[in-house]
């Protein structure tokens, strides 16, 4: 089958691409520039290069941004939409964040409805637990049955902007399906904080994706005297598990219309530092001092990912494996 994967240059997308290719799919990625597309392809093993092509979509917030890309690939079977901003250096919350998240999501759905309405069976949306978490009214146990709320004021606040962008984007996607009744269906994947090996095509650790920064900062010695506070999120999931969930959700008929929360376990920055200390004696001089305190909260909420285990067959990697493989890749030992 053929899969159209948006945001092909991203951290999570790079693992989705790897797993799609090892499952035998042909993949078309959308990227912001030809240079990024060429970078992705040249980092692939020789025998897989022919199975990947790219389309340039400079800005997903623009109207009809995906039209040409989908027109040229009207025989695709599935779409996985991962392109969405995830960083903290933006000026205008609407222009730089909410618009690409929401218009990017409705835009890909609309282009598929217009130009590949019968071939595409399903769109898998990379959403987030940001759409599930509901501060400050945390329930005891989180699962995909819970929908976080946000206000427009919070959306514009800077600190609440990322969360709002994901809430609005996921809502817009399910609303689209309800109102437009396309022949394809939708599945939402909702991971918590994702760690793991960065993409092979990453030009350097300066270009590392946001969620891996804390591991990089510990390894580089930036947390020697003081560990950066962990919160508010103390749940992590391995990027390879996130990628696997996308592919299983894409293939499983019963996943239609569902939402899946993904969590590998609890973590704190201190626990990450302790794992690195144990595994990498040569990094000792750089790591946070062992006596620094753990900020894992006393009455933290719990989570229930039994649906992902039952329906998608997920078996989650633990923090140690995740951190080890991430650090190996970052310091060039993988
Ligand atoms: P990355 O920053 O690595 O990937 C984001 C991707 O989106 C990049 O390919 C980026 O392109 C693309 N993108 C962003 N804005 C635009 C735009 N306006 N036009 C075109 N492309 C754009 O992040 P992740 O892989 O970590 O995250 C991917 C998705 O996963 C996001 O939707 C995020 O919300 C979600 N997620 C991530 C979690 C995490 O902890 N990492 C947790 C839960 C959800 P470029 O690189 O060229 O800028």
Q: What is the ipTM of this complex?
A: 0.99
Ligand 1 in reach of 15 Cβ (< 6 A)? no
Ligand 1 in reach of 11 Cβ (< 6 A)? yes
Sign of CA dihedral 115, 118, 120, 122: positive
- From start to end of 205-303, where are the E strands? 235-238, 259-262, 265-266, 302-303
Structure-block tokens of residue 139: 């329930």
Which stretch of DSSP H or E encloses residue 142? Answer: strand 141-142
Beta bridge partners of 235: 266
Query: Which residue carries 């144990």 as its tokens?
Result: 278
Instruction: For residues 70-78, give the mean pLDDT.
Output: 96
Q: Which of 15, 29, 55, 83 gets mutated to test ligand 1 (max ligand atoms within 8 A of its CB)?
A: 83
Is residue 37 classed exposed, middle or buried when 0-12, 13-18 and 19+ CB atoms within 10 A define those classes?
buried
Backbone angles phi, psi at 113, to 5 degrees: -60, -35
Which pLDDT does position 213 carry in this prediction?
A: 97
Considering the domain 2-199+236-264+301-317 in this protein, what is its CATH number? 3.40.50.720
Supply the pTM of this predicted model: 0.98
The CA 7 to ligand 1 mean position distance, Å, reads 6
pLDDT band at 334 (very low <50, low <70, confident <90, very high): low
Instruction: For residues 183-187, give the mean pLDDT.
Output: 98
pLDDT band at 333 (very low <50, low <70, confident <90, very high): confident
The average confidence (pLDDT) of the chain is 97
Q: Which of 6, 7, 15, 98 gets mutated to test ligand 1 (max ligand atoms within 8 A of its CB)?
A: 7
Any idea what DSSP says for residue 298? T
CA dihedral 319, 193, 25, 183 (to 10 degrees): 140
Contact 236, 210 (CB under 8 A): no
Instruction: For residues 110-118, give the mean pLDDT.
Output: 96
Task: Kindly give the number of the ligand 1 atom that is closest to the alpha carbon of 36.
Answer: 47
Ligand 1 in reach of 60 Cβ (< 6 A)? yes
Task: Kindly give the number of the ligand 1 atom that is closest to the alpha carbon of 12.
Answer: 25
Any idea what DSSP says for residue 132? T
pLDDT band at 128 (very low <50, low <70, confident <90, very high): very high
């Amino acid at each position: 089958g053929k899969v159209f994967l948006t945001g092909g240059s991203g951290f999570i997308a790079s693992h989705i691409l790897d797993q799609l290719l090892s499952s035998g799919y042909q993949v078309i990625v959308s990227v912001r520039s030809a240079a990024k597309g060429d970078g992705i392809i040249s980092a692939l093993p020789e025998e897989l290069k022919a199975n990947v092509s790219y389309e340039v979509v400079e800005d997903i917030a623009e109207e009809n941004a995906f039209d040409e890309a989908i027109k040229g690939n009207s025989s695709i079977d599935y779409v996985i939409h991962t392109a969405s901003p995830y960083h903290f250096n933006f000026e205008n919350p609407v222009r730089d964040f909410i618009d690409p998240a929401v218009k990017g999501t409705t835009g890909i759905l609309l282009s598929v409805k217009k130009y590949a309405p019968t071939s595409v069976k399903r769109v898998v949306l990379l959403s987030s637990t940001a759409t599930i978490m509901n501060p400050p009214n945390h329930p005891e146990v989180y699962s995909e049955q819970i929908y976080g709320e946000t206000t427009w004021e919070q959306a514009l606040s800077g600190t609440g902007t990322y969360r709002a962008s994901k809430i609005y984007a996921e809502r817009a996607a399910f609303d689209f399906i309800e109102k437009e009744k396309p022949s394809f269906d939708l599945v939402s994947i909702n991971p918590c904080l994702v760690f793991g090996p960065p993409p092979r095509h990453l030009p350097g650790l300066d270009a590392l994706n946001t969620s891996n920064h804390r591991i990089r900062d510990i390894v580089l010695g930036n947390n020697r005297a003081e560990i950066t506070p962990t919160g508010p999120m103390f749940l992590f999931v391995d990027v390879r598990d996130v990628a696997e969930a996308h592919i299983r959700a894409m293939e499983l008929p019963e996943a239609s219309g569902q939402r899946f929360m993904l969590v590998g376990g609890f973590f704190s920055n201190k626990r990450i530092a302790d794992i690195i200390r144990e595994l990498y004696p040569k990094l000792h001089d750089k790591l946070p001092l062992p006596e620094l305190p753990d900020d894992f909260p006393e009455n933290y909420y719990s989570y229930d990912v039994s649906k992902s285990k039952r329906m998608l067959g997920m078996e989650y990697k633990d923090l140690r494996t995740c951190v080890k493989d991430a650090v190996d890749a970052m310091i060039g030992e993988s």
